Structure 1
């Protein structure tokens, strides 16, 4: 009596995921080249590294390496096919003669080899950009790097160069901006040390308002805490109007902006801006660097999302990635301004403000006020 399979017994027989479209393009191209080796000239600038399958890459390398057979002889025997197999097999041990013959049978139209090659290069574009985006995100979140901002911006430059090279290979077309639904941007986690740096910036900016006049490279969007962002706007408004700046005047400006609440009393706010240490530039650069790295992570996630969407053409990937990098470059410009060389000592204003320029405190004091107002 035959056994009756249990319900869903066959569901797990084949857990191998369905091949991507590029798998069939690679098979079709190799079949075309095995049938008509002269079609190799139609595949430029395709190289083995463009293939997704290691086995297919080994076969393509063999086809490019071996001298092409005489067309008349090639239709009569399999000598050249056997030579291709022998050349590729050391690099792809699982390769068999039966697979070679199945590729020959699979190719729909050998004369379409150029189209198959373009599909392979397009898919490789997706993988290359994805790898660069992952490297950018990893670098921007690596706490062990000695100079994370410079390293991260260097990787962004690498992506720009890759995009320039790709733009020369793929023609533009209408509807070039990707319609991919982008992931929600997750705000960076606000650690206590990060918040302390923002509080110290607000306090030193209140103590040295003349320095704030030169810090247009920092904006309210760079802060983690909305309260700190609003207080920075209050302080810079006083500075740019030429008003007096001290904890009391900052309190008055904050009152007019509606920042005082039951949980943030005038005493709390004045304590927050009354504990300076170091210089505003020092803390401002720390705030800006954190914002720069957070933006780089967001840009990397955006590029990765474009590459994950199979509907995007290479040109759409290029256009979308360039726009994403433009968002990072706007912050890069401000970062470069913040790190521009200081004026020469002869032209620097005397007094203590000069001696503390861009310097952190010798011993940073603990900041304990207004920690609950997130």
Structure 2
């Protein structure tokens, strides 16, 4: 949004511009006063500016050759050319605003510092936009291969974080503040039903539990189901009998029956059985997508805090990716095709004693 001075009109009803707006003004004012300072700036482009008027002015500054310093000090011909060039890209820009930019610049020699501020805010905006796209993908239930799409977007987002880290190397000991807690949405009834089918199938076929060791209790949507999975895996690990009654007893020993009727647990533990591996993969996929959404919401919370520096953005984003990276490894382990079985090599044949039949035959013929 352009600030009113860019068009030459004041409007007290508009909100006060953020600090980066003043940094952009100071930078452009420094370049209008001393155009040769543009050569000292690296990493900043027209997209770095939050205001379209400022972006147009900067584009004009980059397009036009720098004027002769002596001539520039005597007249405003070069400023007129800047104005003409910039107005081709944006409307509402008038000559008084260029003079305003010059007047509000405290020190032209501080142009690199102003540019750094502009670039820092641009990094925040880039990360916020990329995170919103990542969240949209994680929430899109219509995708044919949602996990592949989410992991691809995660790689894109991680590459952006690496690029920001290159421009703003993290400082030792600079950690982001803890973002506000992210609310957890209620699980869908479909998820609850699938998890109960998984628990019932595992209760009827405990020997298959070992094949899905990549599924963890935190992959379940409700604590009760997570606790029952722990009961199942514990009984199977101890090689004790596994059936709905033994699971119910183990659940009581673990304090899982508070507020839950035992009959309800027995009912869904004796439900239909299909395939432990199939429903375990479904549960893990749902957990991965939920983890991706939680990761995106945490990173977005960092970008929405104006006090978070680029160094802290990088540190916070990388810490937020930790859980997604961990479950990603488990997903690949669960879905990777089994390696082909190599045929067992034939045992090596030991050499026998030398054959002497021919020699004996020769002696006999004499």
Note the alpha carbon deviations across 1:86-110, whole angstroms, 9 max, x for none: 1110211111111111112221111
CA distance in 2, matches of 1:151, 1:216: 25
Question: Is 1:188–1:294's contact at 8 Å kept on the other side of the alignment?
Answer: no
After superposition, where does 1:1-374 map in structure 2 within 5 Å?
14-180=12-178, 182-260=179-257, 263-265=260-262, 267-342=263-338, 344=340
Quickly say closer, same or farther: Cα 1:99–1:250, change in 2 above 3 A. Answer: same
The TM-score with structure 1 as length reference comes to 0.84
CA distance in 1, matches of 2:102, 2:265: 77
Quickly say closer, same or farther: Cα 1:258–1:117, change in 2 above 3 A. Answer: closer
Determine helix, strand or coil for the equivalent of 2:87. Answer: helix
The TM-score with structure 2 as length reference comes to 0.86
CA distance in 1, matches of 2:257, 2:77: 86
Note the alpha carbon deviations across 1:217-255, whole angstroms, 9 max, x for none: 111111122221111111111112222323333233234
Question: Is 1:33–1:40's contact at 8 Å kept on the other side of the alignment?
Answer: yes
**4+ runs deviating over 4 angstroms:** 260-263, 343-347
CA distance in 2, matches of 1:186, 1:123: 27
Determine helix, strand or coil for the equivalent of 1:90. Answer: coil
The 10-residue stretch of structure 1 (90-99 or 236-245) with the greater mean CA deviation from structure 2: 236-245
Q: Structure 1, unaligned stretches of length 5 or more?
A: 1-12, 348-374
Corresponding residue of 1:357? none
Note the alpha carbon deviations across 1:291-346, whole angstroms, 9 max, x for none: 11111111111111111111111111111111001121111111111211145599
Determine helix, strand or coil for the equivalent of 1:38. Answer: helix
CA distance in 2, matches of 1:217, 1:271: 27
RMSD: 1.9
Note the alpha carbon deviations across 1:38-58, whole angstroms, 9 max, x for none: 000122121111111111011
Question: Is 1:302–1:324's contact at 8 Å kept on the other side of the alignment?
Answer: yes
Quickly say closer, same or farther: Cα 1:18–1:261, change in 2 above 3 A. Answer: closer
Residue-pair matches, total: 333
Determine helix, strand or coil for the equivalent of 1:75. Answer: helix
Question: Is 2:199–2:269's contact at 8 Å kept on the other side of the alignment?
Answer: yes
Note the alpha carbon deviations across 1:276-300, whole angstroms, 9 max, x for none: 3321111111111111111111111
**Deviation of the 1:69 alpha carbon:** 1.0
Determine helix, strand or coil for the equivalent of 2:215. Answer: coil
Question: Is 2:170–2:315's contact at 8 Å kept on the other side of the alignment?
Answer: no
Quickly say closer, same or farther: Cα 1:108–1:255, change in 2 above 3 A. Answer: closer
